[in-house]
Amino acid sequence: MKPLKELTRPNIWTLKPYSSARDEYNGAEASIFLDANENPYNTPNNRYPDPLQRELKRLIAPVKKVLPEQIFLGNGSDEAIDLLFRAFCRPGTDNVVAIDPTYGMYQVCAEVNDVEYRKVQLDEDFQFKSDKLLAASDDNTKLVFLCSPNNPTGNNLCQEEILALLQDFQGLVIIDEAYADFSDVPSYLNKLEDYPNLIVLQTFSKAWGCAAIRLGMAFASKEIIGIMNRIKYPYNVNLLTQQEAIRMMEKHYQVQEWVKSLLNERSRLVKEFRKLPCCEQVYPTDANFFLTRVTDAKRIYDYLVEKGIIVRNRTNVTLCHNCLRITVGTRPENDALLEALKGKKWEK
């Protein structure tokens, strides 16, 4: 890995961050706060929240086996993705490399930040080769985006290739683990010590059942997290979100139960879906959704919408012609989907 100073945009490296009232005073003993122009009424929503979400990070750190200083919390993983572009990629000059197909936000953030986005197509099995990603990179490639289990394909990426990339790439490697809770493959969090260029993204939006509270996590070296914290909005995670996440951490056994039952439901749904006459293939999945090639994605999508069932039509995505991405729901929801498609073929 290149020195972090070389990877960071010079203006960000030298930035003096905005210092909020709650940054300058954060001792716990004081009881009279006349420093932040807050309203003394309407407790607790009158007070600015902790800009570094310390209580929440104290709860997350032991569960993830990292230090609180290795955690960034943001308004969804999407905030972390955007901050990585803003911290490391000089607009109009630097570029990033990503697998294709994958999660659409990486490209959107690249374009918003005027950063070239280089796609490297996956093979038939939706796997990549480290050498191909390296060949697409150059001296101005700051970030490589991987997503495992990948969206929309659902599969884990090959560990050997991921480790080869972490070893050989001189910039930062982001592994988006939004769906890792649904997979048996261990998280790459346990590789943070070995690879200083690794950034792992996770989220409260999927297995944790908290998409509405908007809370994403990035894990990396203290130095990388420090840079992200310097450029984030001071109060990027609001009080209600911090409180709800703390409540969720205290009942994380519940998440394990949800995951277990969704995985059972996934096996059943996939098995039944394969029998449908409109289904040509269900791809292997390690997530809470599956990708399926059907006889006619557009017509099946439209038909399901009419029945009040919404799936994701991915037919226009690389390698996904005539593919639908289907999220595993509750048993009755999945049954309604199967029932709607029973006996329907939509000949090509």
- Is the CB of 145 or the CB of 301 nearer to ligand PLP? 145
CB of 177 to ligand PLP, least distance (A): 8
- Is the CB of 78 or the CB of 181 nearer to ligand PLP? 78
CB of 176 to ligand PLP, least distance (A): 5
CB contact burial 26-52 (16+ within 10 A = b; e otherwise): eeeeeeeeeeeeeeeeeeeeeebbbbb
- Is the CB of 191 or the CB of 312 nearer to ligand PLP? 312
CB of 286 to ligand PLP, least distance (A): 13
CB of 252 to ligand PLP, least distance (A): 17
- Which parts of 281-320 interact with ligand PLP (CB under 6 A)? none
CB of 77 to ligand PLP, least distance (A): 4
Two structure tokens written together for 124: 């038939």
CB of 203 to ligand PLP, least distance (A): 3
**Which residue from 76, 101, 154, 171 is in contact with ligand PLP, where contact means CB under 6 A?**
76
**Which residue from 8, 53, 70, 77 is in contact with ligand PLP, where contact means CB under 6 A?**
77
- Which parts of 204-243 interact with ligand PLP (CB under 6 A)? 205-206, 211, 216
**Which residue from 73, 110, 134, 147 is in contact with ligand PLP, where contact means CB under 6 A?**
147
Tell which phi-psi region holds residue 76, choosing left (phi > 0), alpha (psi between -120 and 50) or beta: left
Please report the sign of the dihedral spanned by the C-alpha atoms of residue 75, residue 76, residue 80, residue 86: negative
Separation between Cα atoms, residue 117 and residue 109, nearest integer Å: 9
Separation between Cα atoms, residue 60 and residue 71, nearest integer Å: 9
Helix orientation angle between 331-341 and 252-274, rounded to the nearest 10 degrees: 20
Judged by CB under 6 A, how many residues of this single chain contact ligand PLP?
A: 13
**Which residue from 70, 137, 197, 203 is in contact with ligand PLP, where contact means CB under 6 A?**
203
* Residue in 54, 58, 52 with CA at minimum distance from that of residue 249: 58
For the residues of 189-222, what is the DSSP string, one character each? GGGTTT-TTEEEEEESSSTTS-GGG--EEEE--H
CB of 78 to ligand PLP, least distance (A): 4
Q: Does 109 bind ligand PLP (CB under 6 A)?
A: no
- Is the CB of 151 or the CB of 292 nearer to ligand PLP? 151
CB of 82 to ligand PLP, least distance (A): 10
* Residue in 94, 137, 136 with CA at minimum distance from that of residue 115: 94
- Is the CB of 70 or the CB of 241 nearer to ligand PLP? 241
Q: Which residues contact 139 (CB under 8 A, 6 or more apart)?
A: none
Separation between Cα atoms, residue 200 and residue 194, nearest integer Å: 13
- Which parts of 169-198 interact with ligand PLP (CB under 6 A)? 176, 178
- Helical ranges in 275-345 per DSSP H: 297-306, 331-341
Which residues of this protein are in contact with ligand PLP, per CB under 6 A?
Answer: 76-78, 103, 147, 151, 176, 178, 203, 205-206, 211, 216
